[in-house]
Structure 1
Amino acid sequence: MATLQREREEEEEEIKEKIKEKEKDIAELEAEAEKLVEAITEETEKIKEKVKIKKQSKVKSAQVVQKPITKPKKIITKEKARIKEITEEDIIKNLIQTYKWAYKENLYPWMYFIPEKKKDKDSWEEEVDSWASEWSNFLFDWCKEFLQHIVDKFDLHTKRPFNALEDREKSLEIIMDYLAKDSKLAKWLNDEKTRLRVYWQSLEKWGDILYDWAFLVGEERLTLLDLREMGADISKGFESLPAKDLRDIIEILVENKRASWIDKRSFKFNFDI
């Protein structure tokens, strides 16, 4: 009986020892779990802090007021101020370098009358064609040098060297008509053939000049009236362009997607920047 009692006590002691060991293991596991929880909590706090900093950074960025972009200050210097004033005498000298007979009717009298008719019609027509070609080239360059877009036949009667021509009216009509053969160079403005529009610079080229000037000085919107008033600043001869040509120049820019009409009188440039 005593032996049985002892065995039971030993079993209970053994069970108690096992329970203590289990409790010890559980305590160790709980300690490790607490450490793990602390580590996770600490890492979570770090992540939250980083997120908070990023949010604050975004808010600050959104609150930054962008400085308004200002157009560059216009610095427009008229060509007249930059370039030495060209006199009529200077222009004549330039023309004479190309056309030695110009302004020298006494030295080259045959250039100042229409070639006389000959029995050989073909030969005569060739002479007239050569004479008209030379004079039409001179007229073209004369218009360019004097910045003339439109010439009037009766006005040319009084201008040197045209006033030295024999039978001026007929001679000028032949010369002007010859130039008008090429519509890219000139065209008659009336049926009476008294007024001629001379394109010593194409409308496409004028469009390029206007576009480049506007980009350089920072002009974005203009009216047709502005073009007239600012013409001398844009380029020599621009201020005297016919009104119809100004509109045609803008139309060319619009077709090339370089400008857009705002209304019938104003437009804006489309700068690719």
Structure 2
Amino acid sequence: MKQAKYKLSICIPTYNRRDKVLELVRFLKSEFSKYSCCITVRDNASCDGTYDALRENFCDNSHIYIEKNFENIGLGGNLHLLYTDDKGEYLWVVGDDDWIGPGIGELIFNALSESSSGCYFINYRAVDRLGKVEFENAFSEDVAKNESLLPVFMMNGSVMMFITSMIYDVKEIKRLVDTKSSLYYPRLTLPLYVALSVSELGGVSYVRGDDYLVNSHGEISWRSDAWKVFLYQVPMELLRVFILSGNTTALKAFLHYYVKKVKEKINRRLN
């Protein structure tokens, strides 16, 4: 494995969100200016001038990389490429429209210096499309004592699918791919598989902190496929984690998830 040029590589998948991604890159550039960090934006064949605008604004920055797919390969395909980025020792994939608060740079680099884990799960707040808070914390103090993300899934579901909440040791992602390459392929739920699997292989550190990340549940590009994602692809990721790790907790999580979904469906019909 080649020597990493930076401590942290921030990667942003984007599609047709020119103004939002420009604002995000400006913020990250300023926020991480004093750290060993690079930023890569991979444009998924946008048609709103995103790529040209990024090149125009950041072409003179040696630590900002602007890349483009020649055709739209879907969010899953874009993430599949970005998760194998090896410019840094650690990898942070960030959503192009996510809210990130000032001080996140210090929070992250403190966490990276204080512990050595396969991945780092950053706490966040979730709000719905109307701005109503759905939950204040993605994990509890008790759950954060575990060296696996499976107990978090058992408690709060697929909260680690919020890609911006996860930071990875690049060596552990390479280990994941090398261990079971057949399970690493483009799909919308790949972030869940990577998060759960890396935590099984290399452990997880939980990064506390208020008002640094907000997951705002607005419009999503895959809304029409949401039923397929949550009723089929999410539980399949748990089976893949079991195949990879042999941890039977993944099977328990699989059964727990399906029972919960069936109960939710029954309650909706009764109400």
Q: TM-score range by the shorter chain?
A: under 0.3
Of structures 1 and 2, the one with the larger relative CO (CA 8 A, separation 6+) is: 2
Query: Which has the larger Rg?
Result: 1
Between Structure 1 and Structure 2, the one with more helix by share is 1
- Normalising to structure 1: TM-score of the pair? 0.22
**Is the strand fraction higher in 1 or 2?**
2
